[in-house]
Amino acid sequence: MTTTHESTDAPEERLTATGSSLVAGEEVRGDAGELRAVDPSTGEPVGPVFALVGTDVVERATRAAADAFPVYRDLEPAARAAFLRRAADEVEAVGDEVVRLAGLETGLPAGRLAGELGRTVGQLRLFADVVEQGDHLRARLDTAQPDRTPLPRPDLRLVHVPVGPVAVFGASNFPLAFSVAGGDTAAALAAGCPVVVKAHGAHPATSELVGRAVARAVAAEGLPGGVFSLLFGPGTEVGQALVADPRITSVGFTGSRSGGRALMAAAAARPVPIPVHAEMSAVNPVVVLEPALGDPGALARDYVASLTLGAGQFCTSPGVLLLPAGPAGDAFAAAAAAAVREAVGQPMLTRGIREARERGAEALVGLADVEEVAGGSAGEGPNAPGPQLLTTTATAFTTRPELQEEVFGAVSLLVRYRGAAELVEAVTALQGQLTATLHAGAADAQGEDGAALVARVVPLLQERAGRVLFDGWPTGVEVSPAMVHGGPWPATSDGRTTSVGTLAIDRFLRPVCYQSAPQSVLPPSLHDDNPWGLVRRVDGVLRLPEVRS
Amino acid sequence: MTTTHESTDAPEERLTATGSSLVAGEEVRGDAGELRAVDPSTGEPVGPVFALVGTDVVERATRAAADAFPVYRDLEPAARAAFLRRAADEVEAVGDEVVRLAGLETGLPAGRLAGELGRTVGQLRLFADVVEQGDHLRARLDTAQPDRTPLPRPDLRLVHVPVGPVAVFGASNFPLAFSVAGGDTAAALAAGCPVVVKAHGAHPATSELVGRAVARAVAAEGLPGGVFSLLFGPGTEVGQALVADPRITSVGFTGSRSGGRALMAAAAARPVPIPVHAEMSAVNPVVVLEPALGDPGALARDYVASLTLGAGQFCTSPGVLLLPAGPAGDAFAAAAAAAVREAVGQPMLTRGIREARERGAEALVGLADVEEVAGGSAGEGPNAPGPQLLTTTATAFTTRPELQEEVFGAVSLLVRYRGAAELVEAVTALQGQLTATLHAGAADAQGEDGAALVARVVPLLQERAGRVLFDGWPTGVEVSPAMVHGGPWPATSDGRTTSVGTLAIDRFLRPVCYQSAPQSVLPPSLHDDNPWGLVRRVDGVLRLPEVRS
């Protein structure tokens, strides 16, 4: 039987996970099974037993979200920004314990998790600024032309409005920044959408503490509880029910391609289909041109450092590197192999992820024309396989899509190409990617051929990726106005949005036009006197209320 | 056997339809069957025999589009704008004959078609302005912070880029403004996407003349022929093949819900799923409050005029009107009935559309609690049924979604409500709409109850529609910056975009971020010196190159 308690949240209790879901501010313990986190460094259970909820609780959460929507949608920007900042403060206030629990549940090092906490609260505060800035509203006014012939023009005013309650799925690999109060949650809340989070089972106590912090911010700002709920459910049942729920209007997901496809199918099969923003898989190709191999050893060490960072558990881990045949490329490959052999595995997030990584690497190695170049040694505990470096030919890579399968973990494939034509073919064969990187060295300056190759390759990379990098490494994703963490299929379900950076707010907005509306019914964003001080297009002309940022 | 000819397009031949498809500037006659247009006012065939093409020609067109994409994508704004203006000029140059042929093929009156021609060329020119203005690029620059701790920030620059070749399906009811060179085509071309149009079979000669005008503009501006192709194909085979083609990256469609759903399913089933922008069906509810019934006769006549305009063949035709019970509502209903009885049917676009309208009206009338109030007389010819006015109760409407089925044509349902509670329930039950209209009269001023009802109803309408109108009628869609012709399902496949107005360009764009890119590989939109004079966000601050529109 599902039981519900008022969340007490006395100061000392804020640091103790109870194993409950949170529905509109209330702690709910379901009877749909139990879950305990596992410390991946030991394989031992850790933290409280979570009493999982069933589909009945999904409906309670979405009803509360739908009820909260009209109030939350119509908040003044200052009030919504204050709530986002309060949520950041509340998460930060329990930050030390969150980082400690996340370390136990994920095996990630404390320094990395402290950085991720900073990014998570920083992202909430950045979205607060976005809300106050109001660019995302994209307000446009076409004034009435009553005397126009043959027909008068009515007064038309466009603004972007939130779509409604959003379902967010926590990711395994960023227990903070892509989870309960992560990018999708922050973007949806900033847009004006209540959020129902389906927690990832790999870090439940971390999720609960963060979720309760957000719920405290909801309460402290006097908002309806349904603005935020957090559900712990068994297997895929609760997630599927959440996506199928008629009150949910959009979905944010970071995870596997099979998981993303399943949610897309569920969303498309609804009587009212909805968009799924799924960030799924990428091999993040790095293209190295001959002129970039001036110091092949140093470049190779940077590559292996990017590859092994966080046990390779980044969406942007460089899974493929296109390397010239010949002596300079050979020197790079040898140096990379040496660096991989010296590397020691770090614990992966879960046994399931470690097993999938081993299966994926075995499948790649088992393919014709793929060879293992080097392997590192396993780290401590049951879940810390050593990194692996594989190699293949450009011809094989170009003709066989199975060589582009992502292996989530520190496994990378060196693709050796002979000359510009083979490189261009291999790049042309690339599927959609989150990132694509070019190391061109001074190719541009080295005569017509080098410049022509760069001019040929960059547009091909741009067509295939959400972010194109130069002379760097794809791991590390800045949270800022100009970031794009997206890209064509299969990197995401739809390359028209980003899941990192302030542009992510667009996912959860839609345009509405008011025609001949009296001021009294218009939202303040469209009032004649522009009370929110927005930059607006009026009759096609950009109007600034004053010099402002 | 499919045959191909260079298009000669000598001046006198520009006015004669040949019955050919156009693939990248070449006339192609296929062997996949034949098509002739029918004059709906007589039921007689009219114009040349069209030699339909098969899926082999689809692939030729999409290959040409993919080949043209890199060139067309990278055009300077001035060049792309010049092409759009040239296309407008070329269409306008054959405008008289286009209007004549469209009249024969659609039965629509010459005045209406001349207006639609003006809208079509005006829309191309408006998008030329949009291209030059560059708002849609939404350029953002985050400058490098090499000394930031703990990690330096790289230089990040975001711009929106075209998605790639787009498939556009011509609509039956706007043979010019929503067809070959209509809104979707103009928006896609403005975004930088080559277009392959699948012509609507109801107005083939019109389509061919317009298509050849666009192709002449492509040639005149020295662009690759693949920027534009126009296909005449049998049944749904060519359309399905076009959506399934791996080179197509997005789809624009205006038509029936079943047609839209079929394309959505085909797009989702691809190895690489793509978005379908389908504008499908709506009943465009009009809510009349008691205080708006000061002159019920005049209001009713305006309603019937909107309903019968163009034989009701508008996506925005008012198919449902929510009317208070009681004497004022009765007076409105009686006046509307009288106006409908006086109205004479106009020819519908095709026999199929007329038959579907009759089936739809019969189905509605056959439902319990639905009664026919009045019918007009049939017009001349076989396809001109008289308009019909039906009525039902708010209770029936609220509880039975089948009463919300769109009947494409001049058929409307008066929904009588008793008091505010019944009205709110009926409005809450409304599905997604292109438009929703409120006639509130002086309700706002008539005490708390009136103001409260307006405050309650307007947000409900906004949640359910792309455009909310006050004291007007939904037919008539302005092409302007602030227009939204979209809305939640089932009005469209995805309410996050519009198919009319300049914001439609967003459909065909996606964001890309360049990280640490040298100036030489950046698009000019992101160069330090801002050569295109764009409004850009730089480190979060809005930068204007000068005072500009």
Q: Are A145 and A153 in contact (CB under 8 A)?
A: yes
Q: Are B485 and B455 in contact (CB under 8 A)?
A: no
pLDDT higher than 70, residue A546? no
Q: Is B7 on the interface with A (CB under 8 A)?
A: no
Amino acid at B113: L
- Which positions of A are annotated as active-site residues? 279, 315
CB atoms within 10 A of CB A12: 7
Q: Are B495 and A163 in contact (CB under 8 A)?
A: yes
- Contact B503/A518, CB-based, under 8 Å? no
Q: Report the pLDDT value the prediction gives residue B7, as an integer from 0 to 100.
A: 67
A204/A50 Cα distance (integer angstroms): 8
Q: Are A347 and A40 in contact (CB under 8 A)?
A: yes
Q: Are B190 and B80 in contact (CB under 8 A)?
A: yes
- Contact B514/A468, CB-based, under 8 Å? yes
Q: Report the pLDDT value the prediction gives residue B5, as an integer from 0 to 100.
A: 77
Window 225-264 of B, Cβ < 8 Å to A: 264
Q: Is A471 on the interface with B (CB under 8 A)?
A: yes
- Contact A129/B154, CB-based, under 8 Å? no
Q: Report the pLDDT value the prediction gives residue A547, as an integer from 0 to 100.
A: 47
Q: Is B543 on the interface with A (CB under 8 A)?
A: no
Asked whether the CA dihedral B68, B73, B74, B78 is positive or negative, the reply is positive
Is pTM beyond 0.90? Reply is: yes
A296/B488 Cα distance (integer angstroms): 55
DSSP letter at A56 equals H
Q: Are A156 and B480 in contact (CB under 8 A)?
A: yes
CB atoms within 10 A of CB A26: 17
Q: Are B66 and B225 in contact (CB under 8 A)?
A: no
A331/B152 Cα distance (integer angstroms): 29
Residue to mutate among A142, A521, A539, with most B CBs inside 10 A, is A521
Closest CA to B61 of B232, B178, B214: B232
Q: Is B156 on the interface with A (CB under 8 A)?
A: yes
- Quote the tokens at residue B373: 């109030």
* Residues of chain B found within 8 Å of residue A140, distances taken between Cβ atoms: 481-482, 503
Closest CA to A315 of A495, A493, A485, A162: A485
Q: Report the pLDDT value the prediction gives residue A252, as an integer from 0 to 100.
A: 98
Window 259-288 of B, Cβ < 8 Å to A: 264, 268, 272-273, 275
Asked whether the CA dihedral A479, A482, A487, A492 is positive or negative, the reply is positive
What distance in Å separates residue B435's CA from the closest CA in chain A? Answer: 9
Q: Which DSSP string corresponds to B146-177?
A: TT-SSSPBPPEEEEEEE-S-EEEE--SS-TTT
User: Residue B481: which of A133, A154, A540 has the nearest Cβ?
Assistant: A540
In terms of DSSP bridges, do strands A21-23 and A34-39 run parallel, antiparallel, or are they unpaired? unpaired
B303/B309 Cα distance (integer angstroms): 10
A:B CB pairs within 8 Å: 210
Asked whether the CA dihedral B523, B526, B531, B536 is positive or negative, the reply is positive
- Contact B513/A156, CB-based, under 8 Å? no
- Quote the tokens at residue A251: 């979905």
* Residues of chain B found within 8 Å of residue A151, distances taken between Cβ atoms: 476
CB atoms within 10 A of CB B5: 11
Q: Report the pLDDT value the prediction gives residue B548, as an integer from 0 to 100.
A: 45
Amino acid at A227: V
Q: Is B486 on the interface with A (CB under 8 A)?
A: yes
The number of C-alpha atoms within 13 Å of B165 and in the hemisphere containing its C-beta is 28
User: Residue B454: which of A513, A521, A537 has the nearest Cβ?
Assistant: A521
A391/B304 Cα distance (integer angstroms): 72
Q: Is A544 on the interface with B (CB under 8 A)?
A: yes
Residue A250, SS3 per DSSP: strand
* Residues of chain B found within 8 Å of residue A164, distances taken between Cβ atoms: 463
* Residues of chain B found within 8 Å of residue A67, distances taken between Cβ atoms: none
Amino acid at B188: A
- Contact A482/B142, CB-based, under 8 Å? yes
Q: Which residues of chain B are modeled with pLDDT < 70?
A: 1, 7-9, 446, 546-549
With b for 16 or more beta-carbon neighbours within 10 A and e for fewer, the B269-287 pattern comes to eeeebbbbbbbbbbbbbbb
A295/B117 Cα distance (integer angstroms): 63
Alpha helices in A221-256 (DSSP H): 237-244
- Contact A468/B74, CB-based, under 8 Å? no
A388/A373 Cα distance (integer angstroms): 8
What distance in Å separates residue A536's CA from the closest CA in chain B? Answer: 11
A304/A282 Cα distance (integer angstroms): 18
In terms of DSSP bridges, do strands A509-515 and A465-470 run parallel, antiparallel, or are they unpaired? unpaired
- Contact B484/A513, CB-based, under 8 Å? yes
Q: Report the pLDDT value the prediction gives residue A548, as an integer from 0 to 100.
A: 45
CA distance readout (Å), A371 to A30, A304, A363, A367, A396: 49, 18, 11, 8, 12
Closest CA to A534 of A543, A367, B361, A284: A543
Q: What confidence tens digit (pLDDT) does each residue in A164-183 have?
A: 999 999 999 999 999 999 99
Apex A47 CA angle, A41 and A50, nearest 5:
120
User: Does the active-site annotation cover B315?
Assistant: yes
- Contact B142/A465, CB-based, under 8 Å? no
The residue written with tokens 């964003």 in the block is A525
Task: Answer whether the bond into residue A524 is a cis peptide, omega within 30°.
Answer: no
* Residues of chain A found within 8 Å of residue B467, distances taken between Cβ atoms: 512-515
Q: Are B481 and B464 in contact (CB under 8 A)?
A: no
Given its phi and psi angles, is residue A199 left (phi above 0), alpha (psi -120 to 50 degrees) or beta?
A: beta
CB atoms within 10 A of CB A523: 19
Window 349-388 of A, Cβ < 8 Å to B: none
Q: Report the pLDDT value the prediction gives residue A294, as an integer from 0 to 100.
A: 96
Residue to mutate among B513, B538, B541, B546, with most A CBs inside 10 A, is B513
Residue to mutate among A439, A463, A513, A546, with most B CBs inside 10 A, is A513
User: Residue A516: which of B463, B469, B520 has the nearest Cβ?
Assistant: B469
Question: How far does chain A reach from its first CA to its final CA, in angstroms?
Answer: 53
Q: What is the mean pLDDT of residues A239-259?
A: 96
Grade residue A14 by pLDDT with cuts at 50, 70 and 90. Answer: confident
A321/A300 Cα distance (integer angstroms): 10
Q: Which DSSP string corresponds to B236-295?
A: THHHHHHHH-TT--EEEEES-HHHHHHHHHHHHHSSS---EEEE------EEE-GGG-SS
Find the closest chain B residue to A249 by CA distance: B488
Residue to mutate among B133, B496, B497, with most A CBs inside 10 A, is B496
